[in-house]
Amino acid sequence: MLINPAQQKGLTLVEMMIAMVLGLFVTAVIISVFSTNVRTNVENMKMIRLNQELRGAMTFMVDELKRTGYSADSTEISFMASFERPNSSCILYSYDLNGNGDRDSNEHFGFRLDTTAKQIKWASNASAASSTTCNSFGESITDVNMAEITTLEFDFSGSGNKLGSTINTGIVALTTSTGVSLYDVTITLTGKTDLPHSSDANDPRRTLIETIRIRNDDPKD
C-alpha cells in the first residue's frame, strides 16, 4: 500500500538543516547581546566605583586641609609654620586636633602620591616625613582595585596676602613677608580603572579639580 505524500508528516532533511542554521543564528545573536550587556554593566560598575573612590578621596583631603592652622589659642602660630609643599604631589599641614592650643607631636598631617602603589597616602603624624621627598609616611586612603591614582597635584599659584603681594609658592615652603596670608590650594586628582582605552569616548580615566581657601591669621611684619 503506497503512502499518499499529502498525508506525510514531519520535516525533510533540507528543512531541518535550514531550521538548525536559523536556530544557531538566533542563539548567536542572543549570546552576543547578552555578553555585550554583561560587559557594559561591568564597565559601568567599574566607572561608578572609580568616581566614588576619587570623590571620597577628594572630599577627605578638602575637609582635612580646611582645618589647616586651626588652634584653640588664637595667638599660636606654629600650626601654620608647618604648612609646606615639599613637592607638587605632597602637602604637609597641622591643626589643633585636641583643642589644647599647643602643637603636639600627633598633630602633624600630610597627603602624598605613592607613584609605586598608585595610591594616595595620608599621614596622621607626618613629623617623620622627609622634607624633600615626602616618601616616608602614610596609610592608603584609596583602593588600587577601584582606582589607580596617576595624578595628585597641589597648586598654590592663586595665593596672596592682604597687601597684594604674591606668596612664595616655591617647592620648599610657603611664606610671606607682610600681611595676612591667603592660600588658594587647587587640588588636581586623576585616577583610572582597568578598562581598555580604545578612544576618547572610552577613556577609563577621571579627573577631579577643587580649590579651597586657607586663611592664615598670622600677620607678617
For residue 45, CA distances in Å to 16, 39, 49, 57, 202 come to: 43, 10, 6, 18, 14
Supply φ then ψ for residue 69, to 5 degrees. 85, -10
Among candidates 59, 58, 109, which has minimal Cα distance to 79? 109
* Cβ within 8 Å of residue 141, ≥6 positions away: 57, 60, 119, 120, 121, 122
Q: How far apart are CA 165 and CA 98, in angstroms?
A: 34
Contact criterion met (CB below 8 Å) for 93 and 64: yes
Q: How far apart are CA 68 and CA 174, in angstroms?
A: 13
- Element holding 161 (H helix, E strand): strand 160-161
What pLDDT is attached to residue 218?
52
The list of the chain residues with pLDDT below 50 reads 128-129, 171-173, 219-221
Burial of 75 by CB count in 10 Å (0-12 exposed, 13-18 middle, 19+ buried)? exposed
pLDDT digits (tens, 9 = 90+) for 120-155: 999 877 654 455 567 777 789 999 999 999 999 999
What pLDDT is attached to residue 174?
56
What pLDDT is attached to residue 7?
61
pLDDT digits (tens, 9 = 90+) for 205-216: 999 999 998 876
Residue where the block lists cell 586636633: 97
Contact criterion met (CB below 8 Å) for 216 and 180: yes
Q: How far apart are CA 123 and CA 93, in angstroms?
A: 10
